[in-house]
Amino acid sequence: MSLADEFCEWERKVVEVVREFRTLLRCPVRARELVDGPEERIRQGLLHFLVRLSGDVGFLLDAERNRHDIDLHWSIPPECRPPIPPMLIVETKVDGAGGDWNGQLLRYLRESGGDCGVVFTGQRMWKLTPEAASHRVAPLSSLTDLAALIRDRAAMDPLALVRADFVAGCDGELDAIQRLSQRYRYTTFVLSIRGNEVACRQLRFSESSFTYRPATHHTHVLSEVNIREVERLVRIEP
């Protein structure tokens, strides 16, 4: 079976809605209706495949976030949202349409810190991996190949330590919060301090004190409290 024949099975799952003489496509991820078009139909068909796969493989699925067609992310608690590179970026395109598809995907990968992407047209598919001065392209011949790639990427799980430190920080382990703040230096941490939720940036720990810049104020003035008044981590914001 060719890739095109295999993909037809998923294109048939795309939900059409006719409204005011227009055909709209119901997105299974964004829970909204989008204007029908060749590229949108390819995207929606692939999303149905990925939604099904996400039930078996632990990854999070975003559609059209940060200008990418489809982003796959490693699983992480919803309250933990530091800037994390995507597990995989998938760009859906239409054969015959012009444009530097590889260049576009490569730019997205470099901007987001990602290291693997896929271009999918419904008839052809290939993996793109950025390298120091160029990039490498490898063909994928079936949706089974794509599923295998996603399983391999999900199994890498570079966020295991982040998840462990996040859980420990929520339990009040200050060393875990400090490790997270060193990893994500320019991120907002919401901490419980004296029973209040405080959004903090530029976290600094010592044996006796905790210093931070309030994230809710446009100021470079640092606040300081006794280290014993820092109770726990509540969430991490992007």
How far is 65 from 212, CA to CA, in rounded Å? 31
Residue 69 belongs to domain with CATH number: 3.90.1570
How far is 106 from 218, CA to CA, in rounded Å? 35
Same domain, 187 and 152: no
Total domains present in the chain = 2
Same domain, 32 and 78: yes
- The reported pTM is 0.86
What's the whole-number average pLDDT of the chain?
91
Same domain, 123 and 166: no
Answer whether residue 95 shows pLDDT above 70.
yes
pLDDT value at residue 216: 80
Tens digit of each residue's pLDDT (9 = 90 or more) over 166-187: 999 999 999 999 999 999 988 9
Q: Which domain holds residue 60?
A: 3-156
Look up tokens 């726990």; give the residue. Answer: 232
Residues facing 126 on adjacent strands: 119, 139
Same domain, 109 and 170: no
Tens digit of each residue's pLDDT (9 = 90 or more) over 126-161: 999 998 777 889 999 999 999 999 999 999 989 999
Last residue of a domain, one of 127, 156, 185: 156
Report yes or no: 219 and 200 within 8 Å, Cβ to Cβ. Answer: no
Last residue of a domain, one of 140, 156, 172: 156
Same domain, 148 and 166: no
Residue 223 belongs to domain with CATH number: 2.30.30
Last residue of a domain, one of 156, 173, 188: 156
How far is 43 from 185, CA to CA, in rounded Å? 35
Residues facing 193 on adjacent strands: 196, 230
